[in-house]
């Protein structure tokens, strides 16, 4: 997801500004206060502060000269072995400017690096330890080879908690002069799923439409169906009215412009709130997984979603 203007505007500048990830921040801050740093690996979902924390580390360590001592590369753009052999090595072999005895190379989305590039990176991390520290960021640490993982202190990030997201919503709303009611805050948290970047993008889009942000506006802008609408559709199917449930499904998809995969995810989340016994819920979740696989493989969306609704009717 492309960073919005608000994402850059509200990017934290110090450790105290970073929301959530308290345990990780305390450990990394302790390294920085000692003016020392091991190689770091930040693993976790998108939009939870991995890149932001790397920038905060650089700004805290180097102050105004952080640009000269910090190299940021996005491995999803430049993922071949030449990136490691040329750009990384050229930056790593020179000494840092200032009192800190090392530079920092930040490799974002490094799980996109090819295996050959990762092998070259492993040797580079060994050879330039005296002058350079690496911060690697990835969504899936399992895609990083074991020799690199063993050279890093690995920190696993998680989605932000609701209280942290609400705190951010309140801060942004105050700074931008917009009003967000309590239901809208709950909707923002539900739609963003703990992704701070997605939250700010949605808020910015909503604010362009109206300064008074409500629940309906959020679901409309985010192209997400209201949970109550999905639940109503499923309850109608459970009662045995397949035709009406099918009609509600089509209405929801057309109203919000949803794809089949979007609908599957929302249906799966609502199953647990239905008035069914545990075994029936598990069976329906299992069916959701099967239908999602078929959609990913290229099956017709409407046929597969109707087949899923049929399972709710038959349950």
d(CA 104, CA 258) in angstroms, rounded, equals 42
Q: What is the spatial distance between Cα 116 and Cα 302, in angstroms, rounded to a whole number?
A: 42
**Structural domain harbouring 254:** 227-314
Residue 90 confidence (pLDDT)? 79
Do 236 and 214 sit in the same domain of this protein?
Answer: no
Domain membership of residue 190 (yes or no) is yes
**Dist. CA 24–CA 26, nearest whole Å:** 5
Same domain? For 44 and 144 the reply is yes
Whether 182 is in a domain gets the answer yes
* pLDDT value, residue 292: 94
Asked if the structure places residue 8 within a domain, the reply is no
Judgement on whether residues 137 and 92 belong to the same structural domain of the protein? yes
Decide if 267 contacts 288 (C-beta within 8 A): yes
What is the reported pLDDT for 233?
A: 93
What span, in angstroms and rounded, lies between the C-alpha atoms of 166 and 5? 20
Pair 138, 51 in one domain: yes
| Residue 240 placed within a domain | yes
- 3-state DSSP call for residue 202? helix
- CATH number for the domain that contains residue 32: 3.40.50.300
Rounded to whole angstroms, the Cα distance separating 162 from 168 reads 10
- Structurally, the chain folds into a number of domains equal to 3
Tell me: do 26 and 141 sit in the same domain.
yes
Residues 28 and 132 in one domain: yes
**Are 78 and 42 found together in one domain?**
yes
Gap between the Cα atoms of 203 and 24, Å rounded: 27
In the predicted model, residues of the chain with pLDDT beneath 70 are 1-6, 75-84
Q: Please tell me whether residue 105 adopts helix, strand or coil conformation.
A: strand
43 and 152, same domain (yes or no): yes
Domain shared by 169 and 151, yes or no: no
Residue 134 bridge partners (DSSP): 105
pLDDT reported for residue 91:
81
For residue range 103-118, list pLDDT tens digits in order. 998 988 888 888 888 8
Q: How far apart are CA 254 and CA 246, in angstroms?
A: 12
pLDDT at 3: 60
For residues 234 and 144, membership in a common domain is answered with: no
CATH label of the domain that carries residue 213:
1.10.8.60
Both 192 and 254 in a single domain? no
């Amino acid at each position: 997801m492309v960073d919005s203007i608000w994402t850059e505007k509200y990017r934290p500048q110090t450790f105290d500004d970073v929301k959530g990830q308290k345990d990780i921040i305390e450990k990394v801050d302790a390294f920085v206060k000692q003016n020392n740093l091991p190689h770091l690996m930040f693993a976790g979902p998108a939009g939870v502060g991995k890149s932001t924390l790397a920038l905060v580390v650089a700004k805290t360590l180097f102050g105004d000269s952080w640009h000269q001592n910090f190299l940021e590369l996005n491995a999803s753009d430049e993922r071949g072995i030449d990136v490691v052999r040329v750009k990384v090595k050229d930056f790593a072999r020179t000494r840092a400017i200032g009192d800190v005895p090392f530079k920092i190379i930040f490799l974002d989305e490094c799980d996109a690096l090819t295996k050959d590039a990762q092998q070259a990176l492993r040797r580079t991390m060994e050879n330039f330890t005296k002058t350079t520290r690496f911060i690697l960021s990835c969504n899936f640490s399992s895609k990083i080879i074991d020799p690199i993982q063993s050279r890093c202190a690995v920190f696993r990030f998680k989605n932000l908690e609701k209280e942290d997201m609400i705190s951010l919503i309140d801060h942004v709303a105050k700074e931008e002069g917009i009003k967000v009611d309590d239901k809208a805050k709950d909707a923002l948290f539900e739609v963003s799923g703990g992704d701070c970047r997605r939250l700010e993008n949605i808020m910015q889009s909503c604010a362009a439409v109206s300064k008074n942000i409500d629940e309906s506006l959020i679901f409309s802008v985010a192209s997400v169906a209201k949970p109550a609408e999905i639940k109503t559709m499923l309850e109608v199917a459970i009662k045995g009215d397949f035709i009406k449930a099918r009609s509600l499904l089509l209405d929801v998809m057309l109203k919000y412009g949803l794809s089949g995969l979007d609908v599957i995810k929302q249906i799966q989340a609502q199953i647990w709130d239905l008035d069914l016994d545990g075994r029936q819920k598990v069976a329906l979740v299992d069916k959701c997984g099967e239908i999602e696989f078929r959609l990913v493989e290229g099956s017709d969306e409407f046929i597969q979603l109707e087949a899923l609704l049929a399972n709710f009717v038959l349950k």
